[in-house]
Amino acid sequence: MRKLVSVLIAGAMCVSLLTACGGSSGPSSSGGADSGAAAEGSGAGSAQAVGSSMINIGIKADLTSLDPHNHNDTISAYATRHIYNNLVKLMPDNTFAGNLAESWEFKDDVTVEFTLKEGIKFHNGETLTSEDVKFSLERQKESPKVGHLVSMIDSVEVVDDTHFIIHMNTPSNALISSLNHSGCAIMCKSYVEGLEAEGKTVEDAPMGCGPYKFEEWNPGASFTLVKFDDYFDPETAAQNDGLVFKVIPEESARTIALETGELDMVIDLNTTDANRVRDNASLALDECDSTHVEYLALNVEKAPFDNKLVRQALNYAVKKDDIVIAAIDGEGDPFHNYIGTAAIGYYDTAVDYEYNPDKAKELLAEAGYADGFTFNCYLAGEIRARSATIIQANLAELGITMNIEQMEASTFYERTGKGEHDSCIAGWVANAEPDNTYRPLFISANAGAGGNRSFYKNPEVDKLVDDAAVNRDPAAVQKDYETILQTVSDDAIWVPLYTKKGLVARNKDLQGFVISPISMHDFYGVHY
């Protein structure tokens, strides 16, 4: 027995040693910048404490990469968008303004000349030049993850330190909006080449010319950015000492950490917690219309959804108010359009099929399905399963049987990509470039895995999408998009269900936060 006890004690000592090692060092990345400020904010139990200038932000998952050319996800972008910077930025009114770029001018359909702002410093003190831009865009083109964003760029011609010309291989309206994407971050050529010569990667010590310097990443736990004092633009300079992004996967635990003061903000608040935050006098809730649309896609290649009347009947039969309550606790609005109201490229030209079961019955009878029919609905995720249950009940009243087939996300993508489904529930979050929404969702070439899960093939729509992508006349582009929305909604290829609000909860004393409809939040203005 004594031996057993001594073995256990020895084991405990080993673990304590492991604890000491694992807790502090490990393979966490560190930028090597001064760590005083970060340690203050991230210490256990130090909580946020009003007045502290490190802002603790709760997020649901960890970042995947600190190299802007090696990821295409929102969470990693919280880090890279603040460490690096882009040539252009999206303004709250959905226009684009210069960021690193002072100005740009289209010389012709495929040639754009840019002028850089002067004297912009990287975190290592070097000055930004056109060579850095050329290097970054060429490096990005090689990336399998974000290279497609700049596929229209043929070459970058350096004129002098602050002037360069982008030559495109095809006319494209997406160039400017793409340059605002986190994947189009501008890196320091000599720094990256130096790192690579030493056998290191950008991940080991990311460095850019953004408002924050990289401080530390503890995989699975948190990542920390600290203010860059020599930042060029007073308007977007950090108003706080730094940002600590804390990974808390469980939704309720994230909200509780805000209530206890361990967090200052929670991004993408769980809809079930929205009222809890509203009722708490020390918290505030920021809300916005988002570009997130949920919809039931009807596979137009399969009977009976090859019949437009049946598809329209379904649009009349679904009671969307109930879905908004069941699926997202009322934190959104029933929706009839195909593009979120906050998105660039939204126009109010879609046909609005209001809830009208009698009209649905009429259309079904006219289509020869007066006695109903049976079809399957593929989906992934609990929230969509709740939407499906309501739709199932609505359709049952018309004698239609909807079999819900819930599956894991990767299976869902594969099977709906192959067109095995009669219908499926999906969602779409539009980004700053309308072509990135219209092209995958509606053109023939993207039927299936490309995003068009209705397998809708309409040469007219294809032509309009292509024209809107290259036409330099904004009025013509608007006309194209308006016509597309009118056409697809008249063809009723989906039953649009709802738009979900963007929700960010924060300490009520925290100021300066502007919520972004596309979840690309900036945190530099946040302060107590």
If one asks whether residue 11 binds another protein (CB under 8 A), the answer comes out as yes
Site for another protein in 24-53 (CB under 8 A): 26-28, 42-45
Q: Which is nearer to another protein, 76 or 136 (CB)?
A: 76
Binding residues for another protein, rule CB under 8 A, total 72
Q: How far apart are CA 120 and CA 442, in angstroms?
A: 41
If one asks whether residue 507 binds another protein (CB under 8 A), the answer comes out as no
CA dihedral 136→139→143→146, nearest 10 degrees, is 20
Q: How far apart are CA 414 and CA 424, in angstroms?
A: 12
Q: Which of 236, 84, 85, 103 is nearest to 162 (CA)?
A: 103
Q: Which is nearer to another protein, 8 or 393 (CB)?
A: 8
Residue 132 to residues 8, 97, 119, 136, 482, Cα–Cα distance (Å):
58, 20, 13, 6, 39
Out of 203, 229, 230, 321, the only residue in the binding site for another protein (CB under 8 A) is 203
If one asks whether residue 18 binds another protein (CB under 8 A), the answer comes out as yes
What are the respective helix, strand and coil percentages of the chain, to the nearest 5? 35, 25, 40
Site for another protein in 293-322 (CB under 8 A): none
Q: Which is nearer to another protein, 204 or 322 (CB)?
A: 204
Residue 280 C-beta: closest distance to another protein, Å: 11
Neighbouring-strand partners of residue 296: 425, 495
Residue 308 C-beta: closest distance to another protein, Å: 26
H helix or E strand, kind and range, residue 297:
strand 283-298
Contact mark string toward another protein, 144..173, x via CB under 8 A: xx-xx--x----------------------
Q: How far apart are CA 74 and CA 124, in angstroms?
A: 26
Site for another protein in 373-402 (CB under 8 A): none
Residue 7 to residues 13, 203, 377, Cα–Cα distance (Å):
10, 41, 57
CA 221 to chain CA mean position, Å: 21
Contact mark string toward another protein, 234..273, x via CB under 8 A: ------------xxxxx-xx--xx-xx-x-----------
Q: Which is nearer to another protein, 84 or 369 (CB)?
A: 84
Contact mark string toward another protein, 69..88, x via CB under 8 A: -xxxx---------------
Alpha helices in 50-91, H assignment, sequence order: 74-83
CB proximity list for 13: less than 8 A, separation 6 or greater: none
Out of 397, 414, 460, 490, the only residue in the binding site for another protein (CB under 8 A) is 414
Q: Which is nearer to another protein, 142 or 235 (CB)?
A: 142
If one asks whether residue 9 binds another protein (CB under 8 A), the answer comes out as no
Q: How far apart are CA 222 and CA 245, in angstroms?
A: 5
Residue 235 C-beta: closest distance to another protein, Å: 30
CB 255 within 8 Å of CB 272: no
Out of 117, 167, 386, 415, the only residue in the binding site for another protein (CB under 8 A) is 415
Site for another protein in 354-373 (CB under 8 A): none
**Which range of residues in 12-20, 305-313, 456-464, 496-504 is near another protein by CB under 8 A?**
12-20
Residue 496 C-beta: closest distance to another protein, Å: 17
CB 500 within 8 Å of CB 294: yes
Residue 15 C-beta: closest distance to another protein, Å: 5
Q: Which is nearer to another protein, 8 or 159 (CB)?
A: 8
Site for another protein in 96-155 (CB under 8 A): 144-145, 147-148, 151
Out of 10, 221, 303, 365, the only residue in the binding site for another protein (CB under 8 A) is 221
The 3-state DSSP class for residue 215 equals: strand
Q: Which is nearer to another protein, 246 or 506 (CB)?
A: 246
Q: How far apart are CA 483 and CA 386, in angstroms?
A: 33
Contact mark string toward another protein, 434..473, x via CB under 8 A: --xx-xx----xx--xxx----------------------
Q: Which of 298, 296, 311, 320 is nearest to 364 (CA)?
A: 311
Out of 10, 15, 91, 514, the only residue in the binding site for another protein (CB under 8 A) is 15
Q: Which is nearer to another protein, 6 or 374 (CB)?
A: 6
Alpha helices in 299-432, H assignment, sequence order: 308-317, 320-328, 357-367, 382-396, 409-417
One-letter identity of residue 359? K
If one asks whether residue 431 binds another protein (CB under 8 A), the answer comes out as yes
The radius of gyration of the chain's CA atoms, rounded to the nearest angstrom, is 26
**Which range of residues in 214-222, 226-234, 327-335, 506-514 is near another protein by CB under 8 A?**
214-222
